[in-house]
Amino acid sequence: MNNARLRFGAILLILSMVLVACGGSSEDTVEEPVVEEAPAETLAAPATTSPPPEKLVVWAEEKVAVALDPLVGAYEQAAGVDVEVVIYDFGSIKDDVLTAGPAGEGPDLFISPHDIVGEVATNGVVAPIDLGSIQSDIFDVGIAGFSYGGEVYGFPYATEAIAMYYNSDLVDGVPSTWEEVKAACDAAGTELCVGAPGGGGGGDAYHNIPFVQSDGGYIFKFDGGFDSSDVGLDNAAALASAEYLDSLVKNGTIAATDYGASMTAFQEGRSLFWMTGPWARGDAAAVNYGVGLIPAFDGSAATPFVGVRGMFISAFSEKKVLAQSFILDFFATVDVQAAMYAEDPRLPATKSLFAIVESEDPIAAQFAASAANGIPMPNIPEMGSVWGPVGDAMLIIRDQNYGTNEDTGVTVDSASDAMKLAAQQVRDAIAGG
């Protein structure tokens, strides 16, 4: 018995060692370095020790990743590195960069909208970048969106802002005032007039923000940076804009639709206009469409939120210079940006690409004009406490859900009340940390 057990022990040990050895050797073959031989005649010194090819990991949401992935081949070829573009769920890039980065599992580079800049910079998970000569080619709104605490935290490559789609079979363009919009709808006789997300039970502060800040209202005062202590959701101008929105809802200009409902209504020709962003062009193409600016408020141009998309460098990347080079030498070049645009059309944040796009694509130019009127979404962490309250307040107005609440005893009888409430909630949330 003892003898037998001894034998089993031996077998076990051998097996374990063989397996460990197998694991090791298979890895060796994978990591076999590709030695770059320099031409012999210029070789004064042996070029390098033989390091394995460097690998860069890039996280991006699906559409962006699909556009980027075929392009990186050129860089891999030229630079002798592996670039792995990982399709990442849009909603979890920020959360996972915050958790995976410190755990040593994060990407070297990732693409995200700029509204996370404050949070990731505060947490120290992204590295600042000196864009150097490229900076002058980028629109100010892009740089502003990516600036935090005096540093630029990424390369902004695309902007986006909402504008107004119109059904070009039924109307010639988007009128410049809301009164004319109403008249156009009456003339066309569609079931709905303007389908804008943010109603119909689905709160959405982003799509509704032109109704807040076009005529002097603001979320956070912008003065070289967003000031979270100055909330302007309930200043006189914001209240007046909200009341104006209320009147537009009451006279049927703006329908109580959430995103899905506004989309199907436009696609089925049941609404004349659709207020949303350039990402929806594929969806809008169900009908013949054009794009125009969102009508003005009391003479002031509508100011939507401008989202800026850019590429960040993780602070936990062990290849910072390589990551910087990938951006500055490759990703930021006009050729790559143009190829990205062809696959995933977002308004360019660089002037050089914009010049190309503008002449080729008048619809993109309309979105760009809308973005030019807009302001970047505040990129400070406090923005997290804005979406809920503002979305709720706009929802009350959009769905006309006025009245006295039995549970809290608070009465919201008007659009102004709703805005005051939202402003209070935002201030409390920021004060409460």
Partner 1 sequence: MYMKVSMIIRYVLLGIFNALMFYIVPLAISYESWFLLLIVGIITFLINITYLTNRLKPLKWITPGFIFLLAFVVFPAGFNFYVSFTNWQTGHILTKTQVIERLEDLTFSTEEQRGVEFDLYVMQDSDLDYYFLADLDKNNLLFGKAITSDEFNNVNYANHEPSFKDSNNNIVIPESLYLLSGKEQIANSSQLQDLSLLVDKNTRINLYNISVFGASSGRIFSSQQKYSYDDDTDILYDNTQNVACTLGDRGNFICGGESVDPGWRITVGSENYQRIIDDERFRGPLNTVATWTFQFAFFSVVLAFFVGLFLAVTLNNEKVRFQKVYRSIYIIPYAIPGFISILVFRGLLNPDFGLVNDWLDPIYQLLNIEPIRWFRTEASSKAAVLLVNTWLGFPYMFLIVTGALQSIPTELIEASKVDGATPRQSFWRITFPLLLVSISPLLIGAFAYNFNNFTLIFLLTGGGPPLVGADVSVGYTDILISFTYNLAVSGGRGVQFGLAAAVTTIIFFLVLIISAISFRYSKRLERIYGNI
Closer residue to partner 1 (CB): 217 or 381: 381
Measured in whole angstroms, how far is the alpha carbon of residue 161 from the centre of its chain? Answer: 10
**At residue 312, what are phi and psi to the nearest 5 degrees?**
-105, 155
Which residue in the set 69, 227, 243, 329 belongs to the binding site for partner 1 (CB under 8 A)? 329
200 binds partner 1, rule: CB under 8 A? yes
Closer residue to partner 1 (CB): 196 or 396: 396
Closer residue to partner 1 (CB): 163 or 421: 421
Tell me the C-alpha distance between 426 and 219, whole Å: 9
Closer residue to partner 1 (CB): 309 or 319: 319
331 binds partner 1, rule: CB under 8 A? no
Rg of the chain, C-alpha, whole Å? 27
Neighbouring residues of 346: CB distance < 8 A, sequence distance ≥ 6? 158, 159, 160, 278, 279, 309
Which residue in the set 104, 224, 282, 299 belongs to the binding site for partner 1 (CB under 8 A)? 104
Closer residue to partner 1 (CB): 271 or 370: 271
**Which span (13-21, 208-216, 229-237, 300-308) binds partner 1, by CB under 8 A?**
13-21
Closer residue to partner 1 (CB): 80 or 362: 80
Which residue in the set 240, 256, 280, 357 belongs to the binding site for partner 1 (CB under 8 A)? 256
Closer residue to partner 1 (CB): 26 or 359: 26
Closer residue to partner 1 (CB): 213 or 324: 324
The tally of CA atoms less than 13 A away on the side-chain side of residue 65 is: 18
Closer residue to partner 1 (CB): 156 or 381: 381
Check if the beta carbon of residue 265 is closer than 8 Å to that of residue 149.
no
261 binds partner 1, rule: CB under 8 A? yes
Spatial CA neighbour of 212 closest among 413, 409, 378: 378
Which residue in the set 23, 224, 282, 299 belongs to the binding site for partner 1 (CB under 8 A)? 23
Check if the beta carbon of residue 270 is closer than 8 Å to that of residue 425.
no
429 binds partner 1, rule: CB under 8 A? yes
414 binds partner 1, rule: CB under 8 A? no
412 binds partner 1, rule: CB under 8 A? yes
**x/- binding map, residues 33-72, to partner 1, per CB under 8 A?**
---x-x---xxxxxxxx-x-xx------------------
Chain positions 367 to 386 lying near partner 1, rule: CB under 8 A, are 381-382, 384-385
**Least separation in angstroms between CB 236 and partner 1:** 22
**x/- binding map, residues 108-147, to partner 1, per CB under 8 A?**
-----------x-xxxxx-x--x-xx--------------
Chain positions 83 to 102 lying near partner 1, rule: CB under 8 A, are 95, 98-99, 102
**x/- binding map, residues 287-326, to partner 1, per CB under 8 A?**
----------------------------x--xxxxx-xx-
Burial of 222 (0-12, 13-18, 19+ CB in 10 A): middle
25 binds partner 1, rule: CB under 8 A? no
**Least separation in angstroms between CB 282 and partner 1:** 19
Neighbouring residues of 219: CB distance < 8 A, sequence distance ≥ 6? 209, 212, 213, 231, 232, 233, 378, 383, 386, 390, 426
**Least separation in angstroms between CB 433 and partner 1:** 6
**x/- binding map, residues 389-408, to partner 1, per CB under 8 A?**
x-xx--xx--x-x---x-xx
**Least separation in angstroms between CB 164 and partner 1:** 20
**Least separation in angstroms between CB 40 and partner 1:** 12
